[in-house]
Structure 1
Amino acid sequence: MRLVDFLDRSPAMTNSDVRFIDLDNDVSLSYQEMVNASIHLADLLRKKGVKSQDVVATYAPNSVAAYCCIFAISRVGAAWLPLNTRSTFESNLKLIDKSEAVMLFVDKGIAAENPQFSDHFSDDQLISLDGQQIAGLVFSSLSEAPSQGFSFDGQHPATEADQALVSLLATGGTTGDSKLAEWGSLAWQTFTSIQAEVMPLPDILACYLVSAPMTHAAGIASFAVIGQGATILVMDGMVPERLLSVIEAYGVTHLFLPPTALYMLMADEHVRDHDYSSLRYFWYAAAPMSVEKLKEAIAIFGPVMVQTYGQAEAPMICTFFSAQDHVVALENGCASMLRSCGKPSPQVELEVMDDDGNILPCGEEGEIAVRGNILMRGYYKNPEATAAIRKSGWQRTGDIGVFDEQGYLAIVDRKNDMIISGGFNVYPSEIEQLIWAHPAVKDCAVIGVPHEKWGEQVTAVVELKNKNCVPKEQEIIQYCKDKLGSVKSPKQVLFWDELPRSPVGKVLKKEIRKFFWEKEGRKI
């Protein structure tokens, strides 16, 4: 299944009230108009020589125009490479080079600021866009039905095999350079069918808001609701008061945000002034979330919070923690259940294993392994890296997890984040969960830093809600000792104005470690 199939086969094709609406650029297209526009652009790509299974990249802010480019790429059978405008230009160039992209849709402003594009693409390989035009064509002309005899008829090219390459997704890069995960047709079909099953459309007109980067989870999750026939609202960036107003004004039913963005919403002084009764699914993922902040979110937005677990290699819905699960956990005062990411999703096999591949019973920690049609095909042109994470038919995630007796999975930590201090294994996430609950703390990261006696010393780096109200270091240390004991408690606490984060909001522990470890000439 191709991305454009979600559009072409959507029930919204016959309903002009269901639309793609760009809140920043005053663009509104019906599904049929989006089909027409994507056919015009696909014809342009074909004339430029783009072939089935070529790679074509998009490098632009969130917009309806960017969606049109994605559908055009898919319509010619090419693979989509999304580039995040919040990433550095240099890191995006690396992804372009790795992917061997033959064409680039690029925002006019980005192209003007970065003449280095000419070193990677000819003028004919660069197609400019802004919020209201693509390749010099405005939407009033793009959205017209193609004329008779149009050279591209929109029919499916011969790439319908289950493993046809549909997209390349960059891995998080939180521990090193990003790799490119190949998402095939079957992975996309499996991912979206799971999403439709666990999050069915409500009995009101569905409206999905994309404000986090559409190149990542927020945009990826939109294709399932496009296939179901939802209105797609698009805005670039997240100004809390504006986003909260949009939810109320447009009756938003679906919203995806990483926890860092959710924290920003909850910190806004007007967060309780709006009506969120239209919301059915407030989807959070991509990073752990404090139990205390999760309780606050449910109090503000209602019993609509849902969580999933996954990664670029095993797309984002390997587990599902439903809104009802959240309610049950709250009613029963079960904080451990709220720390979970739910149960394995339909169509996904997920186990916790030891290093030898033995499946561990509930209560025992081990590495999370996944298998099923949801998995990536492999790392793009990197068979060695693919083989390194696949053993006996299972794909290792690099995450440490544990099942409880009810079958709920909790993510303990990244395997590579474990601290070894004085011979003890210390998992940072347990400490981070506790520090997050401190009333002065906005966010934190716990790492191991060099120590002559202990090997590694548990260290907390804290970002505060109010930089004028700084707790004492010893207060945080004692706060942890009272709950966790001395072994797991941080031995030092540093207060930073801001933690380094990836473009999708994940704290970059590798950058924090670098601050402490560089003088040692090693990273572990």
Structure 2
Amino acid sequence: MNNALTIAGLVTRSARHRPEHLAVVASGQRLTHHDFNLRVNRLANGMLAAGVRRGERIATLLPNCLELLDIYWAAAKIGAVAVPLSPMLLAPGLASLLDDSGAVMLFTTGSLLDLARQAAALAPRLSGCRLVLVGEDADPAASYAALLTHGDAEPVLPSPVAPSDLYNIMYTSGTTGQPKGIMLSQQVRAMYALLCSSVFRIGPESVVLATGSLVFNGAFVTMMGAFFAGATYVVHGQFDAEALIDTVRRERVTHIMLVPSQIIAVLASPRFAPEHLGSLQMILSLGAPLHSHHKDELQRLLPGRFHELYGLTEGFLTILDKTDATRKAGSVGCAPPFMDMRIVREDGSDAAAGEIGEIVGRGPMLMDGYFKRADLTAAALVDGWLHTGDVGYVDEEGFLYLVDRKKDMIDSGGVKVYPRDIEELLVEHPAVLEVAVFGVPHEKWGETPLAAVVLREPGSVDGAALKEWLNGRVGARFQRVQEVVVLEAFPRNAAGKVLKRALREPYWEGRDTKI
């Protein structure tokens, strides 16, 4: 077993020391650590027999399922590179990412086979990529089951997997521009395991529920911690608020990770009651800011459980611990051990406490860079510091307060308008469930704020009434919105993040669109 700072031996270790403990609940199956390890070994040996070599890329186009977990951990054992791709991609985007990654194998299902074939037709260089179908209806010659026939012994490699070996290429979600492949090593994922199991108090008896997409990097926050601790990891096929509540009650779930829209959906569910979620010890919000109104509601209904994580897949994060959540309300926490954070001015000098600037950070979870994009890597990593593109400030104790994304800031007549300030007000309206504020063109001011909302009850209020209500409460004239647009739902990526870019683009069509 590899004992270096890698994740290659985590599943093996739990199988040896906790063989009969429940490891995984997924796709209708309940597997002990022993049985899960055998599955992973069979797949790892099948990959090796199929010619997959250390450092080669293995892509997945799969929904949440047991096989996706098999692939992640089999790749870790043999030093292959897991490249999770979103099932929400369209054929041109999928073709571009498969071509960029140089994947030698693509795992998908029958329901997504047409999409995979369309992508292959758009990228002839994918002819060398082997297609593997997951599911009972798969062609036996190209099936996942065929890979599982090569024995369940631990895979034998010419040399052990090394900490510096690449483990993931995580393509960015595309919320702020063309996706980029973020390279994360075995050592980085090992740091996820060490740090996240510690700060979120994930132990051997924990039960961790994954209810969002496993192709989203945020899923690795609790996944790595759970497998490091030898805990139980429960996977939902997709997010469903009612199913989440039922699973927490049935499995006595202790830890969940949700994006803000999912937290809002759980609190709004007719099945929600605090006692149904009483087993929870941690509710982690990440992926986007959770507005204060919803934080307060969560703290009131389920006190003493809320954590918040601000971070980038590129490798920097801050964590607001549940013990600080009330004392530091509005903060997204501080940098964890082994990480450093600075707030910098436009000239690169350090900002004072309370002064707004760009958030930059460094530490042992930093990416190796963007895959095949040295130019973008050099712009993001400067002298070992990751420049996040986000704006915030710290208080005297070093707690970070996120103001907004640089790209989301609205320049209205030379005045910087932060959408989040307006969102925090509008979400307090009793009829409003979710809100997104972004800049739209304006003949006099260049751009001005517009608010899009999703209502708790459709038809309960119109946009004009919400505009009047909001504009009477903002703190400055330049924060007044041009319009409030009522939508049935927001566009989202696979992680559940609101795609502000998709909301904004129609207003800027034919102009220099803000991306």
Q: Return the TM-score normalized by structure 1.
A: 0.90
Structure 2 Cα separation of the partners of residues 31 and 90 of structure 1:
39
Q: How many residues align?
A: 505
One-letter amino acid of the counterpart of residue 37, structure 2? V
User: In the alignment, what sits opposite 1:408?
Assistant: 399
Structure 1 Cα separation of the partners of residues 46 and 119 of structure 2:
20
User: In the alignment, what sits opposite 2:505?
Assistant: 514
Deviation string, structure 1 residues 315-367 (Cα, Å, up to 9, x no partner)? 5xx211111112x33xxxxxxx3221111111111111112221111111111
Structure 2 Cα separation of the partners of residues 457 and 124 of structure 1:
47
User: In the alignment, what sits opposite 2:309?
Assistant: 308
User: In the alignment, what sits opposite 1:171?
Assistant: 172
Distance 1:393 1:26, change over 3 A: closer
Alignment of 1:445-460 (within 5 A): 445-460=436-451
Distance 1:346 1:116, change over 3 A: same
Check the 8 A contact 1:171/1:313 in 2, yes or no: no
One-letter amino acid of the counterpart of residue 282, structure 2? Y
The Cα of 1:138 is off from its aligned counterpart by 5.7
Structure 2 Cα separation of the partners of residues 267 and 478 of structure 1:
23
Alignment of 1:232-381 (within 5 A): 232-272=233-273, 274-314=275-315, 318-326=317-325, 328-329=326-327, 337-381=328-372
Distance 1:156 1:262, change over 3 A: farther
Structure 2 Cα separation of the partners of residues 521 and 370 of structure 1:
31
Deviation string, structure 1 residues 269-315 (Cα, Å, up to 9, x no partner)? 11017522211111110011111111112233332111111112125
User: In the alignment, what sits opposite 1:16?
Assistant: 20
Check the 8 A contact 1:13/1:32 in 2, yes or no: no
User: In the alignment, what sits opposite 1:110?
Assistant: 112
Distance 1:157 1:182, change over 3 A: farther
One-letter amino acid of the counterpart of residue 104, structure 1? L
Check the 8 A contact 1:48/1:124 in 2, yes or no: no
Structure 1 Cα separation of the partners of residues 177 and 129 of structure 2:
33
Distance 1:11 1:38, change over 3 A: closer
One-letter amino acid of the counterpart of residue 208, structure 1? V
Deviation string, structure 1 residues 184-230 (Cα, Å, up to 9, x no partner)? 1222222222112212235x821111110111145312122111011
The Cα of 1:51 is off from its aligned counterpart by 0.9
User: In the alignment, what sits opposite 1:67?
Assistant: 69
Structure 2 Cα separation of the partners of residues 475 and 219 of structure 1:
36
Structure 1 Cα separation of the partners of residues 514 and 386 of structure 2:
26
User: In the alignment, what sits opposite 1:162?
Assistant: 163
RMSD: 2.5
User: In the alignment, what sits opposite 1:88?
Assistant: 90
Structure 1 Cα separation of the partners of residues 261 and 136 of structure 2:
27
Check the 8 A contact 1:211/1:218 in 2, yes or no: no
User: In the alignment, what sits opposite 1:397?
Assistant: 388
The Cα of 1:57 is off from its aligned counterpart by 0.9
Match of 2:134 among 129, 139, 145: 129
SS at match of 2:509: helix
Alignment of 1:435-450 (within 5 A): 435-450=426-441
Structure 2 Cα separation of the partners of residues 87 and 346 of structure 1:
36
One-letter amino acid of the counterpart of residue 240, structure 1? A
Structure 1 Cα separation of the partners of residues 240 and 136 of structure 2:
19
Structure 2 Cα separation of the partners of residues 109 and 3 of structure 1:
31
Alignment of 1:458-497 (within 5 A): 458-497=449-488
Structure 1 Cα separation of the partners of residues 129 and 504 of structure 2:
43
SS at match of 1:289: coil
Deviation string, structure 1 residues 435-480 (Cα, Å, up to 9, x no partner)? 1222111212212211121111222122222222014525434434
The Cα of 1:33 is off from its aligned counterpart by 1.6
Greater mean deviation of Cα atoms: 458-467 or 262-271: 458-467
Deviation string, structure 1 residues 145-176 (Cα, Å, up to 9, x no partner)? 73xxx6xx424653644321110111131121
Structure 1 stretches lacking a partner, 5+ long: 330-336
Structure 1 Cα separation of the partners of residues 455 and 181 of structure 2:
35
Greater mean deviation of Cα atoms: 211-220 or 425-434: 211-220
One-letter amino acid of the counterpart of residue 4, structure 1? A
Match of 2:78 among 76, 79, 94: 76
Greater mean deviation of Cα atoms: 13-22 or 281-290: 13-22
One-letter amino acid of the counterpart of residue 109, structure 2? D
User: In the alignment, what sits opposite 1:206?
Assistant: 206
Distance 1:244 1:218, change over 3 A: farther
One-letter amino acid of the counterpart of residue 280, structure 1? Q
One-letter amino acid of the counterpart of residue 59, structure 2? A
One-letter amino acid of the counterpart of residue 324, structure 1? T
The Cα of 1:11 is off from its aligned counterpart by 7.2
Structure 2 Cα separation of the partners of residues 156 and 437 of structure 1:
57
The Cα of 1:491 is off from its aligned counterpart by 2.9
User: In the alignment, what sits opposite 1:332?
Assistant: none
Structure 1 Cα separation of the partners of residues 149 and 413 of structure 2:
65
Structure 1 Cα separation of the partners of residues 159 and 472 of structure 2:
62
Q: Return the TM-score normalized by structure 2.
A: 0.91
The Cα of 1:137 is off from its aligned counterpart by 6.2
Structure 2 Cα separation of the partners of residues 476 and 169 of structure 1:
39
Check the 8 A contact 2:192/2:220 in 1, yes or no: no
Structure 1 Cα separation of the partners of residues 452 and 66 of structure 2:
39
One-letter amino acid of the counterpart of residue 325, structure 1? D
User: In the alignment, what sits opposite 1:334?
Assistant: none
Structure 2 Cα separation of the partners of residues 11 and 127 of structure 1:
27
User: In the alignment, what sits opposite 1:4?
Assistant: 8
Check the 8 A contact 2:18/2:230 in 1, yes or no: no
SS at match of 2:426: helix
Check the 8 A contact 2:192/2:224 in 1, yes or no: no
Distance 1:256 1:367, change over 3 A: same
